[in-house]
Amino acid sequence: MYVGSALSTQGITLERHILEQQLAIPGATGDFTGLFQQIALAAKVINSRVRSAGLAGILGLTGEKNVQGEEVQKLDEFANNVLIRSVEAGGHLCVMASEENEGIVRIPEQFPTGKYVLMFDPLDGSSNIDVDINIGTIFSIHRRITVGRHGTEADCLQRGASQVAAGYVIYGSSTVLVYSMGESVHGFTLDPAVGEFFLSHENIRIPKKGKIYSVNEGNSLLWPAGLRRWITDMQTPKPNGDGTMGTPYSARYVGSLVADFHRTLLKGGVFAYPADKKSPQGKLRLLYEAAPMAFLCEAAGGAASTGTGRILDVAPTSLHQRVPLYIGSAEDVAAAERFLREE
Ligand code: P6P
């Protein structure tokens, strides 16, 4: 949703908004604002490259593989480098982790370190780059729990409930940055005319119940019976209670987590990447995909579950561990958990 340059005159910038949010947090030092500014700068640079990728001939594969064993798209690599370079010198971080890096990303010796931990998926949904489908950047911020100049993997392996902030940038029909510090969720649309993010979605609240489900039904033969019964239930019209029949849920699936989650956050409903016979832990990564999205969803009044428990309560054991994900409107996620219990 691009509302034109009206934002540029009356709009609240991301920086102003974060400063105001910071003022509400006792003891906040402004460190946060600096870190967010660096993340926003990286988003603008990535956005610029994503928008011109087709012209710049950087689509397609570099031929190398990332830690997930997936072909690394040139844009993936570029986005990863931009994010790391944008934040490593600011003195706000003690350690980073990225989908594109097997181990932790250390702060170079020439730079100061700080009290935060940043984990990210630099360009989620990158397999959609060549077909011009929305992609995104996802980030998660924790406070460090170790002492010493550099952070360690232990600083990264914290429960999602201890995040101090999380967010994503969706490179879609417009470029929107959505973030939360835990209490509320806000969206900012990039005004390309001035290169600033302006408040466009204040205090996002997800509907308690929706009418859209989002799952890759190509995997349905691999699903447990309870999961199939859940999907069938949403496809079945229910009586309205006044003698008329309701309508079934609609199915929407982009295949890009940021796009499917952004729609779910704004319109309600549920997105799921379940565990199945092929992926016993699901496909999505806990630390830099499921946990930040769960943080945002709960802050907006929704829910996020592994199918049997709260995503934000999962105790991580490795940087790239996968987790099943059911996320969206609270009543829809609760229904999924009910059907999964009925194995
Ligand atoms: P599938 C993109 O590759 C991604 O990691 C997420 O963005 C997306 O939700 C999921 O995988 C799609 O996976 O198996 O349905 O193609």
Each residue's pLDDT, cut to its tens digit, for the chain (343 residues) gives: 444 444 444 689 999 998 888 787 776 677 888 999 999 999 999 999 888 876 666 666 666 676 777 665 588 899 999 999 999 999 999 999 999 999 999 999 999 999 999 999 999 987 788 888 999 999 999 999 999 999 999 999 999 999 999 999 999 999 999 999 999 999 999 999 999 999 999 999 999 999 999 999 999 999 999 999 999 999 999 999 999 999 999 999 999 999 999 999 999 999 999 999 899 999 999 999 999 999 999 999 999 999 999 999 999 999 999 999 999 999 999 999 999 998 6
Cα–ligand 1 centroid distance for 55 (angstroms): 25
Task: State the Cα–Cα distance between residues 311 and 293, nearest whole angstrom.
Answer: 10
pTM equals: 0.93
pLDDT at 248: 97
Nearest Cα residue to atom 4 of ligand 1? 125
* Token pair recorded at residue 109: 């010796």
Task: State the Cα–Cα distance between residues 80 and 228, nearest whole angstrom.
Answer: 37
Residues with CB under 6 A from ligand 1: 124-125, 127, 216, 255-257, 260, 273, 283
Spatial CA neighbour of 276 closest among 328, 334, 229, 216: 216
Task: State the Cα–Cα distance between residues 257 and 295, nearest whole angstrom.
Answer: 15
Tell how strand 71-73 and strand 185-191 pair up. Answer: unpaired
Residue type at position 63: G
Atom of ligand 1 nearest to the CA of 127: 3
Cα–ligand 1 centroid distance for 21 (angstroms): 33
Cα–ligand 1 centroid distance for 72 (angstroms): 15
pLDDT at 304: 98
Whether 113 contacts 91, CB under 8 Å = yes
Q: Is 302 exposed, middle or buried (0-12, 13-18, 19+ CB in 10 A)?
A: buried
Residues of the chain with CATH 3.30.540.10: 4-201
Nearest Cα residue to atom 12 of ligand 1? 255
Cα–ligand 1 centroid distance for 227 (angstroms): 19
Which of 70, 257, 288 has the most ligand 1 atoms within 8 A of CB, as the residue to mutate?
257
Q: From residue 90, give the alpha-carbon distance in Å to each of 16, 35, 39, 110.
A: 19, 7, 11, 11
Cα–ligand 1 centroid distance for 286 (angstroms): 14
Phi and psi at residue 261, in whole multiples of 5°?
-75, -40
Cα–ligand 1 centroid distance for 109 (angstroms): 36
* Token pair recorded at residue 94: 């003690």
pLDDT at 57: 62
* Token pair recorded at residue 107: 């702060």
CATH fold group of domain 4-201: Fructose-1,6-Bisphosphatase; Chain A, domain 1 (3.30.540)
Cα–ligand 1 centroid distance for 257 (angstroms): 6
Phi and psi at residue 90, in whole multiples of 5°?
-75, -10
Whether 324 contacts 135, CB under 8 Å = no
Nearest Cα residue to atom 16 of ligand 1? 255
Which of 273, 288, 325 has the most ligand 1 atoms within 8 A of CB, as the residue to mutate?
273
Cα–ligand 1 centroid distance for 125 (angstroms): 6
pLDDT at 3: 43
Q: What DSSP designation does 64 have?
A: E
Domain 212-341 sits in CATH 3.30.9.10: no
Atom of ligand 1 nearest to the CA of 273: 9
Atom of ligand 1 nearest to the CA of 256: 7
Residues of the chain with CATH 3.40.190.80: 212-341
Collapsing DSSP states into helix, strand and coil, what is residue 178?
A: strand
